[in-house]
Amino acid sequence: MGQIKQIAVIGAGPGGLAAAMLLSSQGYKVKVLEKQAYVGGRTSRLSIGEYHFDRGPTFLMMPQLIEQLFKSAGRSIHDYIQLIEIDPLYRLQFGDVKFEPTRNKELMAQQMKTMFPGEADGYFRFMEEERIKFERVMPLLRRPFTRLSDYIKADLAKALPKLHLTDTVYGRLSRYFKDERLRYAFAFQSKYLGMSPWECPGTFTMLSYIEHAYGLWHPVGGVNRICEAMAEVIREWGGEISLSTSVKSVITKHGRAAGVLLENGDKLEADHVVINADFGTAVTQLFQPEDLHKYRPEKVQKLKFSCSTYMLYLGVNRKIQMPHHTVMFADDYAGNVSDMMQGRLSEDASIYLHHPGAVDSTLAPEGKSALYALMPVPNLDSGIPWNEEGQRMAVREQVLNRLEREPELRGLSGDIEEESVITPLDWQQSIHVYKGAAFNLAHSVDQMMAFRPHNRFQDVGNCWLVGGGTHPGSGLPTILESAQISSRLLMEQDGRVFNNATMTARAADPNMAESWIREGAL
């Protein structure tokens, strides 16, 4: 193999950890540099007293992708985490109407016939057409789109009509469902991308299909356990993870990354630099102006970024009887989304509530509950004064008032033992998220696939991007795919081939999720 090459990974989010895990398993000398005192980034654990929370993502989609990732690194995910399937998927509340979708198609059809007469046929048609779409589009998400050959393959031409790039998520769903509530039930997933279903490309109706076809899963201990497991594997392969280590800049020589300069003045030489820092933050803070061309700071400022979130983490001194996920839709959901996309806080807001205690007793003391409430809000371009105490308290009161309308949550305010808040300003200042845009770059048509920042960074050689700001996009499954793409490209540049067959992308198979049950993982 010759001299062992050194790789510096900036950021211990899921993308950086996945890339470090894969590359360390292939014999590279890998060092992960993380500014925080913990791994995971937005997918880390937040502990307040005896209560524990996922800071960001709260469920796992497509667990077979995690299984593939660990197999590629010579490990079994089953040795590190235990997964529990979440059923029903979630509770959706439209005023007094409570709808609990399930991945069991027969039960789903019965529920729809009772609650939404005449709509079951549309559901089955949606699932079948989205299955075909998913099988055609998934290979594109695993392709880097950095070479001409990536564009002239037959499967791209076959998939293009299924991308529905000229339609929107809401528009597509209107072809299947007449009841507005059902359209919302299959459209709200566009919020995972920080976008409005009236603006999000029709490609992303796949998100609700994936939930209904593959199910949603809870890792015992929280989604953060996936990042902690990857960190374990990195160390097992001899990689290093340096926490509380801040990178000041990427060192370049002759247009190529040659290492990193730390805030303490130390220099770390590297043959390759993998960047998992938030994209906007990375390109505006880690490079000298002369290093950048396509993504100079003034150009990045003009890109489209996602919305943000207001997060309220609560340690409650009683046992709550609620499902794992509850989405409380605003009475005027369309107006609520419109307000957010136009930079306004909505008086009639939608709230997402996470109650992991429904399936996992490890996150709160016995007889108590750890709750996480999320309210989508505009990013910092809106000018909302999150630095003002009055503004923060007003939103807190709005969220709690909405929660306390639920019979199971009445009197909640008086039962709070521990509390923490993350506002868009906190996302930017404490977690270094550009503009507080919690879901990174928006997924508009002009910022997808080849038009998204490439995994092989276009401005600097030997520099690789992973995470939500590069192809294929934000969301944990796609972030992990970005790590696999970048790792594969890096090794190809070095004239090497990944020596584990599972690194070769396999065709999407909706039945693969069932292997978790058959193999005893649950």
305: nearest Cα among 375, 233, 382, 364:
382
For 486, the token pair is 């970048």
What backbone torsions phi and psi does residue 126 show, to the nearest 5 degrees? Answer: -60, -50
- H or E stretch including 106? helix 105-115
Question: Does residue 405 belong to any structural domain of this protein?
Answer: yes
Residues 234, 171, single domain; the answer is no
Q: What pLDDT, on the 0 to 100 scale, is given for residue 136?
A: 84
Q: What pLDDT, on the 0 to 100 scale, is given for residue 483?
A: 97
**Calpha distance 20→392 (Å, rounded):** 38
DSSP, collapsed to helix, strand or coil, labels residue 330 as: coil
HEC secondary structure over 136-171: HHHHHHCCCCCCHHHCCCHHHHHHHHHHCCCCEHHH
**Calpha distance 15→43 (Å, rounded):** 10
Q: Which are the contacts of 347, defined by CB distance < 8 A and separation ≥ 6?
A: 398
Number of domains observed in the structure of the chain: 3
Residues 269, 385, single domain; the answer is no
Q: Which of 183, 214, 245 is a domain's end point?
A: 214
Question: Does residue 488 belong to any structural domain of this protein?
Answer: yes
Residues 413, 358, single domain; the answer is yes
Do residues 316 and 416 touch, judged by C-beta distance below 8 A? yes
Question: Does residue 282 belong to any structural domain of this protein?
Answer: yes
Do residues 115 and 99 touch, judged by C-beta distance below 8 A? yes
Q: Which of 382, 406, 435 is a domain's end point?
A: 435
Residues 208, 233, single domain; the answer is no
Q: Which are the contacts of 326, defined by CB distance < 8 A and separation ≥ 6?
A: 90, 91, 92, 93, 352, 353, 355, 406
For 517, the token pair is 């049950």
Residues 404, 465, single domain; the answer is no
What domain range is 484 assigned to?
6-84+221-295+453-501
List Cβ<8 Å contacts ≥24 apart for 234-238: 234/17, 234/20, 234/21, 234/24, 234/30, 234/32, 236/75, 237/21, 237/24, 237/25, 237/30, 237/73, 238/24, 238/29
Q: Are strands 83-86 and 60-61 parallel, antiparallel or unpaired?
A: unpaired
Q: Which of 162, 195, 214 is a domain's end point?
A: 214
For 453, the token pair is 């920042």
Residues 30, 75, single domain; the answer is yes
Neighbours of 377 (CB within 10 A): 25
CATH number, domain at 278?
A: 3.50.50.60
Do residues 309 and 379 touch, judged by C-beta distance below 8 A? no
- Cβ-in-10-Å burial (0-12, 13-18, 19+) of 149 comes to exposed
Question: Does residue 106 belong to any structural domain of this protein?
Answer: yes
Residues 344, 421, single domain; the answer is yes
Locus of tokens 């400022």: 301
Neighbours of 348 (CB within 10 A): 14
Question: Does residue 446 belong to any structural domain of this protein?
Answer: no
Residues 236, 282, single domain; the answer is yes
For 166, the token pair is 């000229």
DSSP, collapsed to helix, strand or coil, labels residue 325 as: strand
Q: What pLDDT, on the 0 to 100 scale, is given for residue 514?
A: 41
Residues 339, 403, single domain; the answer is yes
Residues 80, 117, single domain; the answer is no
Do residues 138 and 79 touch, judged by C-beta distance below 8 A? no
Question: Does residue 162 belong to any structural domain of this protein?
Answer: yes
On the question of a cis peptide bond just before residue 510, with omega within 30 degrees of 0, the verdict is no
- Cβ-in-10-Å burial (0-12, 13-18, 19+) of 415 comes to middle
On the question of a cis peptide bond just before residue 219, with omega within 30 degrees of 0, the verdict is no
**Calpha distance 270→260 (Å, rounded):** 8
**Calpha distance 95→79 (Å, rounded):** 43
Question: Does residue 154 belong to any structural domain of this protein?
Answer: yes
Q: Are strands 83-86 and 308-316 parallel, antiparallel or unpaired?
A: unpaired
Question: Does residue 448 belong to any structural domain of this protein?
Answer: no
Residues 228, 197, single domain; the answer is no
Residues 326, 278, single domain; the answer is no
424: nearest Cα among 468, 394, 473, 384:
384
Note down pLDDT in tens along the chain; length 522 residues. 468 999 999 999 999 999 999 999 999 999 999 999 999 999 999 999 999 999 999 999 999 999 999 999 999 999 999 999 999 999 999 999 999 999 998 999 899 999 999 999 999 999 999 999 898 888 777 777 766 556 556 666 666 666 777 789 999 999 999 999 999 999 999 988 889 999 999 988 999 999 999 999 999 999 999 999 999 999 999 999 999 999 999 999 999 999 999 999 999 999 999 999 999 999 999 999 999 999 999 999 999 999 999 999 999 999 999 999 999 999 999 999 999 999 999 999 999 999 999 999 999 999 999 999 999 999 999 999 999 999 999 999 999 999 999 999 999 999 999 999 999 999 999 999 999 999 999 999 899 888 899 999 999 999 999 999 999 999 999 999 999 999 999 999 999 988 765 554 433 343 444 443 333 332
CA distances to 14, 20, 400, 411 from 432, in Å = 15, 21, 27, 35
Q: What pLDDT, on the 0 to 100 scale, is given for residue 418?
A: 98
